[in-house]
Amino acid sequence: MPVGLLSLISADLRVSLAAVGLLVTGYGLTVAVVSLPVAHVTRSIPRRHVLSGLLGLLVLASWVCALGPVSYGLLLVARVATALAQALFWAVMGPVAVGLFPPERRGRIIGLLSVGGSLATVLGVPAGTWLGGHGGWRAPFLVLGALALVSLVAVAVLLPTSPPEAGHAAYGVRPDARRFAVVLVTTALSVTGAFAGFTYVVPFLGEVSGFSRDSAGALLMVFGVAGPAGIAAAGPLLDRFPRGTLIVPVAAQAAALLGLYAGGRNQAVTVAMLMLLGASVGPVFMATQSQVLQVAPGRSELALAANSAAFNAGVAAGALTGGALLSVTGVRGTFLVGGLLTAGALAVLVWPGASGSGGSARRAHSTPGPASFLRKLLT
């Protein structure tokens, strides 16, 4: 939410733009650090109670920002509380939603959840920015709290109460610690690559491609709209082609980042590569989430929390990597490095033996090493 409100918050609270930027950085780092520990602590609590509590925390944290006088410190605390809620919400929501349907629909349900999350990103940031510009930066948080309250009532009233370990979605279909490790590395490398370049896409559009500043919003909308389109296209294929629906978008992301580096001075190429990048980033994470539900070597919500932590760590690492490269390679070079990191994720994914097998999970019981450690961590 603060992404489009940074200047408004900075002016109102009389703090620097860099300090307000910490609301975003601190949020991502909090999610990365606490996802797995919080999921582990709450693993025995019924999911309806957990989700209701998380949505209640979101309501409270949002309305603390919206109502009454707010200091920078209080706003930072409220954002960290929201990050704590998100850290667990997505780890729990996947198994809960999948568990409501037959096992053969796992991929389709994950696809639908991903469309919702992608649309929230595409629509939420522009809507929050517009509302903040017309009603002050607190107004979007007021609306966010109201929407969270509606979700809280729906979950508390309609979601069945069942033990968290019950149901087919509580554990992976084909537990495989080696394959799970491959998915985590793929997530971390691909997200680091994506954000190494995309964090600085606005200066790239101006300095390299020659677009005017007024064109940046429209071009980012092109990127944003391509995301749900890619997810909607790939989602129905997750159950039939689990590996292909991960390999193809990772390859497409690498091609898009390298294409922006190589052809970014041509505006038509830039638009095409932005669309390809938007259509691949979302499906990559969706496919990794689907893969985790298949190969989780222990409880699925713990495995999803680990994947979420890898994603958010990749966001932070990518932004830091790109920032460190700016003075060395220029903004164009950040896309080259991002493409190479994504190509590294693709190499890990297609490396012989990376597909794993059910036997590797069984060997993890008796063989020490990373696979055995992952399995113990997630049980």
Residue 166 has pLDDT above 70, yes or no: no
Structure-block tokens of residue 78: 């409220």
345 Cβ contact partners less than 8 Å away, ≥ 6 residues apart: 185, 186, 189, 190, 193, 250, 254
pTM here is 0.77
Closest listed residue to residue 5, CA positions, set 150, 102, 203, 142: 142
Res. 63 pLDDT band, cuts 50 70 90: very high
At residue 144, the pLDDT reads 92
Mean pLDDT of the chain, nearest integer: 85
The rounded distance, in Å, linking the Cα atoms of 248 and 244 is: 6
pLDDT at site 267:
94
Using pLDDT thresholds of 50, 70 and 90, give the confidence band for residue 367: very low
Q: pLDDT tier at 152 (50, 70, 90 boundaries)?
A: very high
Using a 10 angstrom Cβ sphere, with 0-12 exposed, 13-18 middle and 19 or more buried, the burial of residue 329 is middle
Percent of the chain exceeding pLDDT 70 equals 91
Burial of 178 (0-12, 13-18, 19+ CB in 10 A): buried
